[in-house]
A and B are shown apart, each in its own frame.
Chain A
Amino acid sequence: MTRSTTPSICLKSIQKAYGATVALNGVTLELKPGEVHALLGENGAGKTTLMKTLFGLTQPDSGSIEVNGIATVIASPRDARAAGIGMVTQHFSLVKTMTVAENLALAEAGLVRVNLAEARRTVEGAAARYGLEAPADAVVAELPVALQQRVEILKALAAGCKYLILDEPTAVLGPKDVDSLLGVIARLRDQESMSIVLISHKMKEIERVANRVSVLRRGSVVASTAAEGMTPKQLVALMVGGDGTEPVVRTIAVAKERAAVVLALRGISIKRVIGGLDDVSLEVREGEILGVAGVSGNGQSELVGVLSGILRADSGNLEVAGSVLGDVTPSMLYRAGVGMLGEDRHASAVQHLPVVENLVLDQLQTVTRLGHLDRGAMAQRCETAIREFEIKATPDQHLGTLSGGNMQKVLLARLFSRSPKAVIVSQPTRGLDVVSTRYVRSLIAAARDKGTAVVLVSEDLDEVLELADRVAVMYRGRVVGIVHAHGLTRERLGEMMAGVS
């Protein structure tokens, strides 16, 4: 193993903003030869944007990239590949109807004719050297996900890549496949001296293979350190940030035990190898925010799925205002007074419809007179919403032309206009600029103060600690603890998130 001190790849002061939202704020990252560099951080912290920059999928506003000490412009994935950089995302770019060997032959750069024999040799060689076994003549569509992922890695190897970016490669794998992938990663590093960027939320994996760990928060590198000797607990502490010991102070009333339970989950389980839920029980009371924290991929999105009626639980009950709902559907929850703000705001609103129509889309019966839309009432409601929620848009503006913050305000205005008993808000400020973030949080707090029961699912710990009255921590599909926010420290929260009970 040769480890020179000059970095192979150096990203220097990378700056990238989308409108008012700063995605990367002067990020500098070094990737040394023969190292596995783990990149940690909540979703939306900028990891993917940073890697997209390195792979030529997006251009930085400022900053530079050096490959082997030479300043290199990477304007497209083609440039990236020419510089020896390969990337495996969660969405594979394979021709599914072709065989493994055919896919590899297609990937080899500068090829005039398809050389299947060589592609087969690549497959055999990789199997022998790195344990990266894949059936050369099998059709890709018929392979399980784990094998398709190997084909993606093989493609990068066949194209002669020296640097590999793996974007959450283990998120789609079962435990056995994770094991063998980590083995492959270690062999590529040790035998080929490849440099690998590993984006992952799983501390155990990072502990096993990473040489270095960098943590991104809100577009900045907040920590970069050698991984040797780091325990999962220390890694989470890095992610959580701060010195972690000062407790949260809550001035508003904490004990709301006397308030009525509005929404309750009792023993919810979903049996799956990846992304299951295990006996989850939660209660949210009137006028309370229950924060749900956890490292990404520990069951939070499944929990939101159950709470919004999209995912069916294998066992357990969902109760709204004391009555059990059987066979939960989204419209049933809607009628029961449970509102939902999904994490993907673009998919939650009709981009090509104007603000005024989007605002009433979930409550059309209230603006209908004899089958006709009551345009006057709609306009009035829209004006009220624009004023109350400080939405910077005209009623007739198509939603797709609004900024993320204003789009989120429209969705919140729609959500709260029905005076729901309970709301589930998932990643409410992801990708928003500072001003919008502050405003959206104040709206959620205001709803709580008016008596709404709120479930806040967020990977942003600052957000959870700022808003939540109680915090439920999820780890591997279980709720490992529910604690009062008053007196809670980041350190304690970090321990729980790392699975330390």
Chain B
Amino acid sequence: MKPRFVLRAGNPWWRGPLLVSLAAVTTFVITAALIRWSGGNPIAAFRYMFINPLQSKFGFTESILSATPLVFTGASVAIAFRAGYWNIGAEGQLLAGTVGATWFGLHAEGLPPAIAAPGILLAGATFGAAWATVPALLRARLGIDEVVTTLLLNPVALLVITGLLNGPWRNSETGFPDSDVIAESAMMPVVWPDTRVHLGLVVGVFVTLGCWWFIGQMTGGLRLRAVGLSPGAARIAGLHVERTLLTTALVSGGIAGMGGASEIAGVAHQLTIGISSGFGYTGVIVATLAALSFIGSLVVALILGIINVGSFSASRALSIPSTMGEVVRSVLLITVVAALVIQKYKIVWKRREA
């Protein structure tokens, strides 16, 4: 018996929800075994991870805060992937965005907030797009694989930050490798009183909705999808494949960079070496789990935010490793990708016979 994948003509209404439930159940079963193995009670751990953050206002808003950078990187990766541009460099582009935002924030003293707040986001987007330029040009002009180039530029961005923080941007008061605090006018205002949820989230949601509208409703979006699904056929239809790839790559980098600016202006208020805890890489997971749908990526970002907050309290309360959150995330990724394959393709078992 040999499996063969056949494209499905369509899906009945129940197949999507069924597959999602299957993926969730499988994830629970696999991770429960792992939690058990590391000496914890799976039921209690899942309660801490998924339920507890939703039971208090603090837990919920912290989850939203934790989801904010993922909203940006999820949209960044999703739009690139939809065009068939495999941008694995959202991490580096986000980091470049934090540099741009910090630079703007340090020089924004005296600017009114109405200029400084949008300005810092634009600065981040510009730097993010700039960081994406070289791999994008290499791909569009010379056909050099962007997976490698975008990925390898990520640690370079971190090294640039390390260099800046140990050189010109070293903290003027403490001497630690953290930048000075940015001008207050450039900080993102809090949008939910008495919490840390800031304007960056609203911007991120709007950017995502904008991508969703563009992809589905605008001519450029159809062009982008066609290029992503079949560059050869797009070329035959007279579309400019390289131009589309280049533009999409820059927009993707810009969105990731804006995510970095949102972290600087909304949470950290200064540049630190640990400014990103892998937000760009997690963005790849967000986009993939959402099957490259923008609305879906908002939901996934929130779920991952909840797991992120929850896994810390689970680890504190049950003394299981705090990386269990990542384990759950990774297992979820595998089961969902499997479910997506089954949704798109019918598996036919070919019998060996004459």
Binding site for B on A (CB under 8 A): 59-60, 64-65, 73-76, 330-331, 334, 340, 342, 347-353, 357, 361-362, 364-365, 367-368, 371-373, 397-398, 400-401
Contact = CB atoms under 8 A, between A and B. Distances in A.
Contact of B354 (A75, A351, A371): A75
Interface residues on B, range: 20 to 34
A347 B9 contact: no
Contacts of B219: 364-365, 367-368, 371-373
A362 B233 CA distance: 10
17 contacts: A64-B354, A65-B354, A74-B354, A75-B354, A334-B238, A349-B230, A350-B229, A350-B233, A353-B225, A361-B226, A361-B234, A361-B237, A362-B236, A362-B237, A373-B222, A398-B9, A401-B10
Given A342-B236, A350-B233, A400-B7, 17 more contacts: A64-B354, A75-B352, A330-B238, A340-B236, A347-B230, A347-B232, A349-B230, A349-B233, A351-B230, A357-B222, A361-B233, A361-B237, A362-B238, A364-B222, A368-B219, A373-B219, A401-B9
Give 5 closest A-B pairs by Cβ, nearest first.
A362-B237, A361-B237, A73-B354, A401-B9, A350-B230
Contacts of A368: 219
B218 interface: yes
Given A368-B219, A372-B218, A373-B217, A351 B229 contact: yes
Contacts of A398: 7, 9
Interface in B214-262: 217-223, 225-226, 229-230, 232-239
B173 interface: no
Given A330-B235, A347-B233, A364 B223 contact: yes
Contacts of A75: 352-354
A131 B257 CA distance: 63
A480 to B, nearest CB: 30
Contacts of B220: 371
Contacts of B239: 361
B69 to A, nearest CB: 29
Nearest to B9: A401
Residue of A350, A361, A362 with highest tally of chain B CB at under 10 A: A350
A484 B237 CA distance: 33
Interface string B1-36: 000000111100000000000000000000000000
B233 A348 contact: yes
Residue of B8, B217, B218, B236 with highest tally of chain A CB at under 10 A: B236
Contact of A352 (B218, B229, B235, B238): B229
A183 to B, nearest CB: 37
Given A350-B233, A350-B234, A372 B9 contact: no
A82 to B, nearest CB: 14
B238 A331 contact: yes
A471 B8 CA distance: 43
B78 to A, nearest CB: 16
A372 B218 CA distance: 4
A221 B94 CA distance: 64
Given A350-B230, A353-B225, A372-B219, A73 B353 contact: yes
A362 to B, nearest CB: 4
Contacts of B217: 372-373
Interface in B167-220: 217-220
A138 B115 CA distance: 66
B236 A59 contact: no
Nearest to A342: B236
B222 A59 contact: no
A19 B233 CA distance: 24
A353 B229 contact: yes
B164 to A, nearest CB: 39
A237 B343 CA distance: 52
Contacts of B237: 361-362
A400 B8 CA distance: 9
Contacts of B218: 371-373
Contacts of B352: 75-76
A65 B354 CA distance: 9
Contacts of A74: 354
Given A330-B235, A342-B236, A349-B233, A59 B353 contact: yes
B22 to A, nearest CB: 24
A115 to B, nearest CB: 30
B122 to A, nearest CB: 22
Nearest to B231: A350
Nearest to A361: B237
A64 B353 CA distance: 11
A348 B236 CA distance: 6
Nearest to B2: A76
Contacts of B238: 330-331, 334, 362
Contacts of A65: 354
Nearest to A349: B233
B9 A330 contact: no
A60 B353 CA distance: 10
Contacts of B233: 347-351, 361
B226 to A, nearest CB: 5
Contacts of B223: 364
Contacts of A340: 236
Contacts of A73: 353-354
B7 A350 contact: no
Interface in B303-354: 352-354
B353 A352 contact: no
Nearest to A76: B352
B56 to A, nearest CB: 43
Contacts of B354: 59-60, 64-65, 73-75
A330 B353 contact: no
A350 B230 CA distance: 5
A352 B353 CA distance: 32
A391 to B, nearest CB: 15
Contacts of A397: 9-10
B227 to A, nearest CB: 9
Contacts of A59: 353-354
B17 to A, nearest CB: 20
A373 B217 CA distance: 6
A373 B237 CA distance: 17
B348 to A, nearest CB: 13
Nearest to B230: A350
